[in-house]
Amino acid sequence: MQNHTQHHHHDGGRPDSATLTEPHGHPDTRPDDHTVHSHGQHAGHSTAMFKNRFWLTLALSVPVVYFSPMVGHILGYMAPMFPGSTWIPPVLGTVIFLYGGQPFLKGGLHELRNRRPGMMLLIAMAITVAFAASWTTSLGIGGFDLDFWWELALLVAIMLLGHWIEMRALGSAQGALDALAALLPDEAERVTDGGTETVPVSDLRPEDLVLVRPGARMPADGTVVDGQAEFDESMITGESKTVARGPGDTVVAGTVATDSSVRVRVTAVGDDTALAGIQRLVAEAQASSSRAQALADRAAAFLFYFAAVAGVLTFIAWTLLGSIPEAVTRTVTVLVIACPHALGLAIPLVIAISTEQAARAGVLIKNRMALERMRTVDVVLFDKTGTLTTGEPELKDIAAAGGVDPDALLALAAAVESDSEHPVARAIVRAARERNLALPAAGGFSALTGRGVRASVDGRTVHVGGPALLRELAAVEPPALAESTRGWTDRGAAVLHVIDDGGRVLGAVSLEDAVRPESRQAVAALQNRGVKVGMITGDARQVAQAVATDLNIDEVFAEVLPADKDKKVAELQGRGLKVAMVGDGVNDSPALARAEVGIAIGAGTDVAMESAGVVLAGNDPRAVLSMVDLSRASYRKMWQNLVWATGYNILAVPLAAGVLAFAGIVLSPAAGAVLMSVSTIVVALNAQLLRRLKLNPSEVR
């Protein structure tokens, strides 16, 4: 079953990552508080670095603000005077500029070199101009009154806070490759002339013979040479049913022998295994995923050019009017207030609140771009097994031969299966109990590997099993029964026959992967929002079509191999569609990484969660709707905040430049700074309104 894939730690301690990761050159990438991002404005920066710089800068900002004459004047108090008190803002302000401002100065330089101005360059420009102007004032050069020390301190502190909030919301680095490596056991039992020896998986070589015990994972790809077992291959194929593998059959690293021991001749190890191939697909898909630029960066680029042009024009205009000191004052004021605190907090606050709201609804957002992209998605592609369906078999139909009561037939089958732990057996017993049937006493239970089970009921031997058991017992279905079971088989159901000790077929039952009741609501609600729904599965076409018809799904991809799931996402993207992929198995990982938004469903494997930008903590596909609604709401909030933050600038910058000076209206540095603070408060309050959004999956419409 699909959900068995999460038990990969049963094979021992920490997996031998070297087996898979070292040949690819992927070192351990487990996320921690010091995760380093390799691209964008946070290149080389960690969450912890922004956090530490913020707290120290905040502590240093308090005395800078308190001893600032401008703040004292605005708030109407007089800071105490003592020898050296006037040097507190310049000295501490310089420390703040060099220490707290360092990430922005470096980032601004990086953006300047790449000729891609953004938030970092806008902040760097504002704090550098404020620093230079403030020192000019503190040293009494030119008689300027441009004391921006408090403004510099608060600007750096607020920007560090914004980036810290943003970095936390971005989530941790991808650990998908480690999680794939974790599907391999630490050790293998190699068969030798004298018995078996336990060796590290990395010591295995092609042609080695290994013993794989019940419940153990395959350490390498190989061919069964002795024994027969039901293999759980769901993490590779996505197929929910276990598959019988016997001598001559191929088995794959990472799959589980569920019920019996087998001896396997190794054919491929390490880098050459199917699992390693999937790992390479994940790496390639992650590398090719879109690097869309954040909204705030686009707004910051616009503001940078706007401020630079406004600054130059201000200086030229006031110089031509014959007032160099006024030209400097106005230009400095323009360049300092061009970097709004509000813009630094507008997006991070929305992201942080969105992330928190989503988590309460059981949606864990790991990548902020996934949240932003979700509103643009045209099609949601669901993996079938374990996502739209439960991944567990469910009794669908009962057909009894002439003269046999269907309830008695089900009770008899359940009695025979009652000692079995197989998922199919559990489904039959569960169905009998739900119908409140009294089960006859059964004894002498035995499992017939790959064929079925038998037990003694009321003194007669009764068999329950599939087509292989019919052939073995030379039993023949009555024509009326055969007509029923043919229809079941055509739609991909598993068919089990109940056969008495005389070889007479008493009847049959069908079992199918159960569709989650929530799936119907999820599909309908997505379609109501103008989003198409697709389904992708490794299952047979008739199985997939039956589920798709039941759920009214728009597009179906069936019999898809692991490598091709990735290609199917690319195929949809090639048609100009933006894709959100929802899956839970290792075989879904490349597709999750390739899609615009990868959503892992919570009962899935670690690797699926690592490849996804979003993880649904539960198994409810309706949670995808929460993601769509939140994405659209948070995008509206981001735009509202950006319009407010940049709109304030577009109005304040010309006033600071003195365009209305002829009418006696001039925005002083102090007034500009106060307006900036008001703008920040408005943005923060607006972001809080997101908390009113209801994201309960059970209330989806």
> Residues 444-477: pLDDT tens digits?
888 887 788 889 988 889 999 988 888 888 888 8
What three-state secondary structure class fits 582?
Answer: strand
Residue 282 pLDDT greater than 70, yes or no: no
Tokens in use for 6?
């999460």
pLDDT for 225 equals 93
Cα separation of 279 and 605, whole Å? 14
pLDDT for 350 equals 80
Amino acid at 575: R
Cα separation of 536 and 641, whole Å? 39
Burial (CB count <10 Å: 0-12, 13-18, 19+), residue 401: middle
pLDDT for 608 equals 60
What three-state secondary structure class fits 43?
Answer: strand
- DSSP structure class, residue 149: H
Amino acid at 173: A
Highest mean pLDDT among 51-60, 135-144, 146-155, 246-255: 51-60
Contact 610, 588 (CB under 8 A): no
Residue 21 pLDDT greater than 70, yes or no: no
Percent share of the chain, pLDDT over 70 = 81
Summary mean pLDDT of the chain: 79
Cα separation of 675 and 337, whole Å? 9
Between the alpha carbon of residue 518 and those of residues 224, 389, 624, the distances in Å are 41, 9, 11
Cα separation of 660 and 677, whole Å? 23
Helix (H) or strand (E) holding 461: strand 460-465
Cα separation of 386 and 96, whole Å? 53
Q: How many CA atoms lie within 13 A of 651 on its CB side?
A: 10
Nearest to 386 by CA among 251, 536, 498, 511: 536
> Residues 265-280: pLDDT tens digits?
999 888 888 777 666 6
Cα separation of 515 and 235, whole Å? 20
> Residues 92-141: pLDDT tens digits?
999 999 999 999 899 889 988 988 887 788 888 888 988 988 888 888 88
Nearest to 645 by CA among 687, 691, 688: 687
Nearest to 188 by CA among 200, 174, 196: 200
Cα separation of 180 and 188, whole Å? 17
Contact 600, 580 (CB under 8 A): no
Report DSSP letters for 513-544, one per residue.
Answer: EEEPHHHHHHHHHHHHTT-EEEEE-SS-HHHH
Residue range 157-180: mean pLDDT, rounded: 61
Cα separation of 611 and 290, whole Å? 14
Cα separation of 285 and 612, whole Å? 11
Q: How many CA atoms lie within 13 A of 600 on its CB side?
A: 32
Tokens in use for 438?
């009294």
pLDDT for 561 equals 78
Q: How does strand 555-557 pair with strand 532-536?
A: parallel
Cα separation of 459 and 71, whole Å? 97
Global confidence as pTM: 0.59
Angle at 168 between CA 370 and CA 176, to 5 degrees: 55
> Residues 478-534: pLDDT tens digits?
888 888 888 888 777 888 999 988 788 889 998 888 888 888 889 999 999 999 999
CA torsion 308-310-313-319 (nearest 10°) is: -100
Go through the chain and tell me how many residues it has: 701
Residue 289 pLDDT greater than 70, yes or no: no
Residue range 329-350: mean pLDDT, rounded: 74
pLDDT for 286 equals 47
Contact 604, 667 (CB under 8 A): no
Residues contacting 40, CB < 8 A, separation 6+: 291, 294
pLDDT for 331 equals 84
pLDDT for 29 equals 34
Contact 5, 604 (CB under 8 A): yes
Indicate if 620 belongs to the active site.
Answer: no
Cα separation of 661 and 657, whole Å? 9
Sheet order of strands, 262-268 included? 195-200, 187-192, 209-212, 262-268, 221-226, 250-251
Contact 362, 618 (CB under 8 A): yes
pLDDT band at 163 (very low <50, low <70, confident <90, very high): confident
pLDDT for 555 equals 92
Cα separation of 217 and 224, whole Å? 14
Tokens in use for 310?
């406004």
Cα separation of 376 and 635, whole Å? 11
What is the CA 68 to chain-centroid distance, rounded? 46
Residue 7 pLDDT greater than 70, yes or no: no
Percent share of the chain, pLDDT over 90 = 17
Tokens in use for 642?
């950006």
Residue range 540-569: mean pLDDT, rounded: 85
Cα separation of 40 and 44, whole Å? 9
pLDDT band at 179 (very low <50, low <70, confident <90, very high): low
Please list the alpha-helical segments (H only) found in 171-239. 176-181, 234-237
pLDDT for 545 equals 86
Q: How many CA atoms lie within 13 A of 450 on its CB side?
A: 15
Phi, psi of 519 (to 5 degrees): -60, -40
Contact 349, 165 (CB under 8 A): yes
Residue 698: CB atoms within 10 A of its CB come to: 8
pLDDT for 26 equals 33
Q: Which residues of 556-567 are buried (b: 16+ CB within 10 A; e: fewer)?
A: bbbebebebbbb
Please list the alpha-helical segments (H only) found in 395-516. 406-417, 423-434, 467-473, 479-490
47-61, 230-244, 478-492, 590-604: range with lowest mean pLDDT: 230-244
What is the CA 1 to chain-centroid distance, rounded? 22
Tokens in use for 76?
């109407």
Residue range 366-372: mean pLDDT, rounded: 75
Helix (H) or strand (E) holding 263: strand 262-268
Q: How many CA atoms lie within 13 A of 409 on its CB side?
A: 22
Cα separation of 33 and 309, whole Å? 40
Nearest to 581 by CA among 392, 384, 389: 384
Cα separation of 298 and 215, whole Å? 53
Taking every pair of C-alpha atoms in the chain, what is the biggest distance, in angstroms? 115
Amino acid at 339: C
Phi, psi of 396 (to 5 degrees): -105, -50
> Residues 555-610: pLDDT tens digits?
999 888 767 888 999 999 999 999 999 887 667 788 888 898 988 876 555 656 66
In the set 11, 147, 383, 588, the catalytic residue is: 383
The structure tokens 């990552």 sit at 17
Burial (CB count <10 Å: 0-12, 13-18, 19+), residue 32: exposed
